Amino acid sequence: MSKLLFIPILVCLFGTFPVQAKDTDRTRELREKMVTEQIAARGVQDKYVLDAMRAVPRHLFIPEWGERLAYEDRPLPIGYGQTMSQPYIVAYMTEMAKVKPDSRVLEIGAGSGYQAAVLAQIVKHAYTIEVIPQLAQQAEVRLHNAGYNNVSVKQADGYYGWAEHAPFDAIIVTAAAPHIPPPLIEQLKDGGRMIIPVGTSYMVQMLVLVTKVGSEVRTQNLLPVRFVPLTRG
């Protein structure tokens, strides 16, 4: 299990980090509107997911310059060529993974730390991997500053998963892979579910649900998406 890094200031692509606003009545109102109009209105119904999306202060997980855009229905750049998915996609992937309080969950692509925070709001402990060292470091700081100390962050190539904590009930991959990585399938528990965008940046990607039943692996196409490519270490 990795330890949280307590770093007062990091310089990133968009300025100093972290300089974050507090959670206020206004940001809570914006989150309620986000959940009502962007997420629930599009069919997400899982109570754990909706409650988590209401609770996690999304504006604390993006660079300072973008805080005013935090609750808009759009992805946001977080530096180093990476993005944070729009709120609906985060909620949809979490719902389709069927994450519950007793789930053991792995995220591939920590990015800003926001998806990990949503998972940590639901489960006792979450695991997340980020290949880009600066983002892994920033995600740890953001998660700590937001009060999510039940997340282990590892800087590594997510293609290979995190075998020492497997098997997982759910794996959520937040970057597009050209194929479903075999190590991640191996690390799924019997009955486990993986949500992963499959494709390249030069074609339409498909968000795929992978379920594992004994030695059988089943896949189901969910919807077309656009994610940044899965970066290899």
Tokens found for residue 190: 């019997």
- List the end-to-end C-alpha distance of the chain, in Å, as a whole number: 20
In this structure, are strands 205-213 and 188-198 parallel, antiparallel, or unpaired?
antiparallel
Concerning whether 85 is annotated as a catalytic residue, the answer is yes
**DSSP result, 114-173:** HHHHHHHHHSS-EEEEESSHHHHHHHHHHHHHTT--SEEEEES-GGG--GGG--EEEEEE
Catalytic residue among 2, 85, 112, 152: 85
Residue 78, class by beta-carbon neighbours within 10 Å (0-12 exposed, 13-18 middle, 19+ buried)? buried
Q: Which residues belong to the active site?
A: 85
